[in-house]
Amino acid sequence: MTTLSSPLRTTTAATPPSSSGPRRRGRRAPREWLRDGGLSTLVIACPMILVFGVFSWFPIGRALVMSLQETNLVTAPVFVGLDNFAYVLQDPLLGKAVANTLWFAVLALVFGYPLPLAAAVLMSEVRRMRGLFSALAYLPVVVPPVVAVLLWKFFYDASETGVFNTIAGWVGLGPYPWLQDATSAMPSLVLEATWAAAGGTVIIYLAALVGVRTELYEAAEVDGAGVWRKIWHVTLPQLRGVLFITLILQIIGTSQVFLEPFLFTGGGPNNATLTVLMLIYDYAFGSSLGGNYGAATALSLMLAGVLAVLSAVYFRVTRPWSS
C-alpha cells in the first residue's frame, strides 16, 4: 500500500537572505554626504541659523550675563553674582505682581478659553455664510493692538456718557468706574484681551473641526445622542490634542501680559493691575537716571524658568490624554 506525501507536509530549506537586500545604513562618509547635496543644504540653512542665533540665542546668553551684573548700559558693568535675584525676591511689589498676573490668567482661562471653542462649534453648524462669520470672528485680530486698547479705553469712560455706561444705562444699570476701580480694573482688561485674541483661536478650532469624521456624529445620532452629548462625547474628544496645545499657549501668553495694563492703567489703580512684565519694565526703564537692567533680566530669567518648568510638567502630565 503506497502512501502519498501531502504537499502540506513538504518542507523547504530556508534560503539565506540575499546579500543584495536592504541593509541598515550607517553613518555616511563625508564624500557621500557631499555627493548627496549635504553642502548645498548647509549653505541654504546657514543664513537662517545665523539669524536665529543672533536674534534668539545671543540675547538669551546676554541676559544670563546681565543678570549677574549691576549695569545700566551706560557705565561699566560690575559683577554682583546673585545679588540681583536676591533684590528681586525681596521687592515687596513682586508678590503683588505675581498675584495680579495669576488673577489675570485665571480670569482669561475662565472666560477666554471656552468662548472661542463655543463660537467655533456654533459656526461649524452654520450652513450658510460660514465664511462671513469666520471673517467677523477674526477681525479683532487684524486691528493693531495699540489701536484696540485705545479704542476700548474710550469705551471704558467712567462718566455717565461713556459708551459702556450708556449701554448699561439703557437697562437701568451703572454707571460703573471700570478702569478707575481696583476691583473692576482687571476684569475689564481681561474682557478686552479676550475680544482681541479669541478670533485666532476660533480659526484654529474651526480648522480642527473639519478633521472630525462625520461618521462619528451619524453614529451618535443613531444612538439617540442630542447636541450636547455629541459635543461632549464626539467633538471634545476629537479635539483633545488641539485643546491641550491652546491651553498651555494661553497660560504662557497670559503670564506675559503687558500691553493691556501698560496702556489701560499703567499698573494702577493702587497697583491693582501691576503684572510681572510691568515690573520688569519698571526695573529697566522706570528711572530716568538709568534702569536696573540686572534686576530686570534676573526677573525675566525667573519668569522664563517658571514657564519652562510649568510647560514640561504640563506636557508630561497630559501626554496620556493628548492623543
Tell me: the pLDDT tens digits for 54-78? 888 888 888 899 999 888 777 788 8
42 pLDDT higher than 90: no
C-beta of residue 282 within 8 angstroms of C-beta of residue 107: no
Residues above pLDDT 70, as percent of the chain: 87
C-beta of residue 205 within 8 angstroms of C-beta of residue 116: yes
What pLDDT score was predicted for residue 9?
41
Each residue of 133-164: b (16+ CB within 10 Å) or e?
A: bbeebeebbeeebeebbeebbeebbbeeebeb
Q: For the chain, which residues make up each domain, given as ranges?
A: 27-66, 84-318
Q: Please, what is the average pLDDT of the chain?
A: 84
Q: Long-range contacts: 294-298, Cβ < 8 Å, 24+?
A: 294/66, 294/67, 294/68, 294/69, 294/70, 294/71, 294/80, 294/84, 295/84, 295/87, 295/88, 297/63, 297/64, 297/66, 297/67, 297/84, 298/67, 298/84, 298/85, 298/87, 298/88
What pLDDT score was predicted for residue 233?
83
DSSP lists the bridge partners of residue 78 as 70
> What is the spatial distance between Cα 230 and Cα 221, in angstroms, rounded to a whole number?
8
What pLDDT score was predicted for residue 322?
66
CATH class of 84-318: mainly alpha
Tell me: the pLDDT tens digits for 152-161? 999 999 988 8
21 pLDDT higher than 80: no
- Of the given ranges (84-88, 200-204, 218-222), which has the lowest mean pLDDT? 218-222
What pLDDT score was predicted for residue 26?
55
- Of the given ranges (128-142, 186-200, 256-270), which has the lowest mean pLDDT? 128-142
What pLDDT score was predicted for residue 221?
81
C-beta of residue 230 within 8 angstroms of C-beta of residue 217: yes
Tell me: the pLDDT tens digits for 84-113? 999 999 999 999 999 999 999 999 999 888
- Of the given ranges (47-56, 146-155, 294-303), which has the lowest mean pLDDT? 47-56
Question: Is the N-terminal amide bond of 175 cis, ω within 30° of 0?
Answer: yes
Tell me: the pLDDT tens digits for 287-297? 656 678 999 99
13 pLDDT higher than 70: no
pTM over 0.85: no
188 pLDDT higher than 70: yes
Tell me: the pLDDT tens digits for 240-285? 888 889 999 999 999 999 999 999 999 989 999 999 999 999 998 8
* Predicted confidence band of residue 321 (pLDDT cuts 50, 70, 90): confident
- The mean pLDDT of 177-186, rounded to a whole number, is 92
Q: Could you write out the DSSP letters of every residue in 6-39?
A: PTTT---PPPPPPTTS-----PPPHHHHHHTTHH
* Predicted confidence band of residue 214 (pLDDT cuts 50, 70, 90): confident
Question: What number of CA atoms fall less than 13 Å from residue 192's CA on the CB side?
Answer: 28
C-beta of residue 238 within 8 angstroms of C-beta of residue 128: no
* List of residues 6+ apart from 202 with CB closer than 8 A: 116, 119, 120, 123, 134, 137, 138
17 pLDDT higher than 70: no
| Residue 206, C-alpha cell as written in the block | 474651526
